[in-house]
């Protein structure tokens, strides 16, 4: 576990390079104990983002929670609904008030906002992913603040992100951001549960999110939010692999964004990986959901992992699941250990026919050979590197 005390210079070096930030706001930050929108927090956050934009040219993309929580308060729910239809209803009711407040408060500073409601399906499709990126870029170039939320009023499990921490980590890729800021209701990551241990100490710097750091985060316990510190650590790890640092801090603290951009020692700073993934490989590893499994022999695994080779049909020993060309799959050993993920050029049906064969035999078996590789190395991510 890598936990050290950061230097002021380290923070300053990171912050001075930031030109675009993703700011994730959790339900507990944005709402009161009675599940009403906390206007003091909204005023502070919108004022700070406007100030940073107008005085330093820093662009912000907001990933907001709060729609379901707001709807819960209006509909009289005491805890997050378990029935999907009721959760969707709460989101539909709450989203209106949520966006209206953002629009009204940013207008005070002469800024416009743009709403983007997303599902996992929107980012899973590469064409739609790039379309969303272009739209977000246009909004930012026009001086508009993009405000992103999961489309909870229509989402189903198959296209659900799960929580907005995960969504915010994916948005760092979409937005090509320099920093991810996750604002929650505590000061950052602690060495113990601060709610249970009075002697818990804030960890100011995490150089690498390893297993022990993930264990420190613990499990989520909440009546209105889906995530917890564990999901925030996971989001930070995902962003780090795209080369983006993360700061987890207390969104209830007045002026927190200005403190962060003044390089003050607030919250927990999580450093990025030096060997970051490309945008496309980050998308393959973290945005796509595997639709099946390709089992390979030891020789193919060694070539893919150790030599950066593509997956050829000769190294395939089995196929599980039903999928088409262009879909994401897991690459596993014969014992079931997943070691890579990638985009297959062939369907599961065709792979079953050509497994174990040489590339030169594909044409004879299928009557065509669209690609010599089942998974090209440019479409392959080795998981041990993550």
Q: Is 70 exceeded by the pLDDT of residue 161?
A: no
- Compute CA 76 distance to the chain's CA centroid, rounded to the nearest angstrom: 31
CATH code 2.30.130.10 region(s) in the chain:
290-385
Contacts of 367 (CB under 8 A, 6+ apart): none
209 three-state secondary structure:
coil
Helices and strands counted in the chain (H then E): 15, 14
pLDDT, tens digit (0-9, with 9 covering 90-100), for 94-104? 899 899 999 99
What is the DSSP secondary structure assignment for residue 1, as one 8-state letter? -
pTM of full prediction above 0.75: yes
CATH superfamily of 290-385: PUA domain (2.30.130.10)
> Over pLDDT 90: what percentage of the chain?
62
pLDDT score at 228: 79
Is 235 within 8 Å of 246 (Cβ atoms)?
Answer: yes
**Bigger pLDDT: 122 vs 56:** 56
Rounded distance, CA 236 to CA 322, Å?
32
CATH code 3.40.1160.10 region(s) in the chain:
2-276
Which pLDDT band holds residue 169 (cuts at 50, 70, 90)? very high
Rounded distance, CA 15 to CA 262, Å?
8
- Compute CA 119 distance to the chain's CA centroid, rounded to the nearest angstrom: 12
Which pLDDT band holds residue 137 (cuts at 50, 70, 90)? very high
pLDDT score at 157: 53
CATH number of 2-276: 3.40.1160.10
> Could you give the maximum distance between any two Cα atoms of the chain, in Å?
70
What is the DSSP secondary structure assignment for residue 77, as one 8-state letter? -
**Alpha helix positions (H), 17-83:** 27-30, 39-56, 67-75
Q: Is 50 exceeded by the pLDDT of residue 223?
A: no
pLDDT score at 208: 84
Positive/negative CA dihedral, 369, 370, 376, 381: negative
pLDDT, tens digit (0-9, with 9 covering 90-100), for 30-50? 988 877 889 999 999 999 999
* Dihedral, 369, 374, 379, 382 alpha carbons, nearest 10: -160
């Amino acid at each position: 576990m890598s936990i050290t005390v950061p230097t002021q210079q380290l923070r300053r070096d990171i912050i001075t390079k930031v030109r675009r930030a993703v700011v994730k706001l959790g339900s507990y930050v944005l709402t009161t104990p009675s599940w009403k929108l906390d206007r003091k927090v909204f005023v502070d956050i919108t004022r700070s983002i406007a100030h940073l934009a107008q005085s330093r040219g820093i662009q912000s993309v907001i990933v907001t929670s709060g729609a379901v929580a707001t709807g819960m308060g209006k509909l009289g729910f005491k805890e997050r609904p378990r029935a999907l239809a009721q959760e969707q209803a709460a989101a539909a009711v709450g989203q209106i008030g949520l966006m209206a407040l953002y629009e009204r408060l940013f207008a005070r500073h002469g800024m416009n906002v743009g709403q983007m409601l997303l599902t996992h399906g929107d980012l899973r499709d590469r064409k739609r992913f790039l379309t969303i990126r272009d739209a977000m870029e246009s909004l930012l170039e026009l001086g508009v603040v993009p405000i992103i939320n999961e489309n909870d009023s229509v989402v189903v499990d198959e296209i659900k992100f799960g929580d907005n921490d995960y969504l915010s980590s994916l948005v760092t890729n979409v937005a090509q951001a320099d920093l991810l800021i996750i604002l929650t209701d505590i000061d950052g990551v602690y060495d113990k549960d601060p709610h249970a241990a009075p002697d818990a100490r804030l960890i100011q710097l995490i150089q690498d999110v390893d297993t022990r750091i993930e264990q420190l985060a613990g499990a989520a316990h909440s009546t209105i939010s889906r995530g917890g510190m564990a999901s925030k650590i996971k989001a930070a790890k995902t962003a780090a692999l795209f080369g983006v640092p993360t700061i987890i801090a207390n969104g209830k603290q007045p002026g927190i964004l200005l403190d962060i951009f003044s390089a003050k020692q607030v919250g927990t700073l999580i450093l990025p990986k030096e060997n970051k993934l490309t945008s496309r490989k980050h998308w393959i590893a973290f945005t796509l959901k595997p639709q099946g499994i390709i089992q390979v022999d030891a020789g193919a695994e060694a070539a893919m992992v150790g030599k950066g080779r593509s997956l050829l049909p000769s190294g395939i020993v089995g196929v599980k699941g039903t999928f088409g060309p262009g879909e994401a799959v897991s690459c596993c050993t014969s014992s079931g250990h997943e070691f890579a993920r990638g985009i297959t050029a062939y369907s599961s049906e065709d792979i079953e026919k050509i497994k174990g064969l040489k590339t030169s035999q594909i044409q004879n078996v299928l009557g065509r050979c669209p690609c010599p590789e089942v998974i090209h190395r440019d479409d392959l991510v080795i998981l041990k590197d993550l």
